[in-house]
Amino acid sequence: MDSGGREVTVRRQKIKKNRVKVRLIIFLILAAALLAAAVWAEALCPYDPYAQDMSAALQPPGPAHLLGTDRYGRDMLSRVLIGARSSIFSALLLAGITGMLGTAAGVACGYFGGAADMVIMRISDICLAFPSLVFAMGIAAVLNGGMKGAVIALAAVGWPKYARLARSQTLTVKNSDYIAAARLSGSSALQIIFLHILPNTGGPILVTAALDIGTMMMELAGLSFLGLGAQPPAAEWGSMMSGGRSMLQTSPWVVLSPGLAIFVSVALFNLLGDAFRDWMDPKGPGGHG
């Protein structure tokens, strides 16, 4: 390729890299705005989200209640805003717990090997053999529901994916020259893991976690919809949809309001995860890996 062709190729790569960076920044700002709305939900609520007013029950969206009211006269906008706190932060907590547990198990299996590796990987095979949501429903039912039980149930079925990914990444790098040099320098196993293995294998794990946030939000809402997550009168989007599903034809705003909140939040986190994956891809325009 002549110098002119190389310049055109480099210019195109820079343009693509800048586009990925701009897209990532935009979605980061939008995600930060969503999180800020969840944190300061109480200040943003125009009404008390739990105050009942039967005289205002099932009012359609209007100037007084922008998203209408539910069967108990509670303002839907206030309940959607306050529900963002449990719905979004529970999903983020679940992503953090699942990612850390799975990564710790996978790195330990990949680095140390042995009988523990075989046992943990066989347990992960068993977990992956069941449909994840069905398995989570069974665990949540045993734990008697509740948001805490739903998070524990989904974490119990979600860690194998991270464990397998972390194990494969660890096996790839543990025999590298820089790991051998670290051993010769007297570094302990924990030092090697935290200073060398995790920094060089964490990219794909972080991308997977970012892409999973939207899925975990949907799964938490699904368990709450089935009565195995947040319990009434708690304002949680899945539980709110479950409580209003019988009024979908007569008062659709009761179901559509939390449903739209779930759609927007899941779409935003999925787009953010896609942008983060493109930015982290060493072969892509972002060039970070």
pLDDT by residue (tens digit) across 26-73?
999 999 999 999 999 999 999 999 999 998 899 999 999 999 999 999
pLDDT digits (tens, 9 = 90+) for 29-41: 999 999 999 999 9
Domain 3-49+63-280 in CATH 1.10.3720.10: yes
Instruction: Report d(CA 110, CA 262) in Å as an integer.
Output: 37
For the chain, the structural domain boundaries read 3-49+63-280
Residue 44 tokens read as: 């943003």
% the chain with pLDDT above 90: 58
DSSP letter string, 72-123: T--BHHHHHHHHHHHHHHHHHHHHHHHHHHHHHHHHHHHHH-HHHHHHHHHH
Element housing 2 (H / E) = none
Return the structure tokens found at 29.
């700002």
Tracing tokens 């709450």 back to the chain, one arrives at 224
Report whether 193 contacts 182 (CB < 8 A): no
Place of tokens 């590796």: 117
Locate 108 and state its tokens: 């330990």
Q: What is the pLDDT of residues 160-196, one digit of tens each?
A: 999 999 999 999 888 888 888 888 888 888 899 998 8
Cβ(153)–Cβ(98) under 8 Å? Answer: no
pLDDT at 289: 45
